[in-house]
Amino acid sequence: MMTQSDRRKRLIVAITGASGVIYGIRALQLLREVPGIETHAIISPSAFRTAQDEVDMTQEEMKALPDVLYSHRDIGASLSSGSFQTAGMLVAPCTVKTLSNIATCNAGELIPRAADVCLKERRRLVLMFRETPLHPGHIALMEQATRNGAIVMPPVPAFYSKPKTLMEMVDQSVGRALDLFDIHMDHVRRWTEDG
């Protein structure tokens, strides 16, 4: 009989259509290097569209990044049930629409459904919300999502790490998001610590 300790740690990564699809892509790329992590991804059609403008990667290359890929429409997928064990879910980037659906428990597609499952099961849900400037509706949605148990983490650069490239900035933000799941990446520069 397989026990939980025999299994790899499962992490859900959702990529939505906000600018910044590189955050979700880098999370999946970096997690491939971490022993004992199994990635389950949902990539929205809008994310594929945004990727055309932002990254040099085909849809097929993006689809090959996770261990398991789900259709955004498959609300009957395994990760739509609380009985499917995960360490939680990272939404990177998180659109206003996705934030709204999560905050209001509107689970008509798999991304908000899987997020809602994480919240009801008291699992970690990290939303790399990508919008600025904010109006009161955005702030109210962030507050509601936080009250429901999510962590809203806009990908704000850490300039104390003295990044030399855009990818170093992305990796720092993704690394800090993964810290919230107790997945610690060696490349993350930490305040007052050596890099």
Q: Where are the domains of the chain?
A: 9-179
pLDDT at 187: 85
| C-alpha 84 chain-centroid distance | 18
Tokens matching residue 106: 């509107």
pLDDT at 192: 82
What is the CATH code for 9-179? 3.40.50.1950
The predicted-structure confidence for 36-75, as pLDDT tens digits, reads as follows 999 999 999 999 999 999 999 999 999 999 999 999 999 9
Provide the 10 A C-beta neighbour count for residue 69.
Answer: 15
Tokens matching residue 130: 């990508």
Q: Residues 99, 142: contact at Cβ < 8 Å?
A: yes
Tokens matching residue 149: 């148990």
pLDDT at 189: 85
Place 186 in a pLDDT band, splitting at 50, 70 and 90. Answer: confident
What global pTM score does this model have? Answer: 0.94
pLDDT reading at 12 higher than 90: yes
Sort 147 into a burial class: Cβ within 10 Å, 0-12 / 13-18 / 19+. Answer: exposed
The predicted-structure confidence for 87-130, as pLDDT tens digits, reads as follows 999 999 999 999 999 999 999 999 999 999 999 999 999 999 99
| C-alpha 192 chain-centroid distance | 27
Q: How far is residue 9's CA from residue 13's CA, in Å, rounded to a whole number?
A: 13
Report H helices in 55-165: 59-63, 96-103, 110-120, 136-148
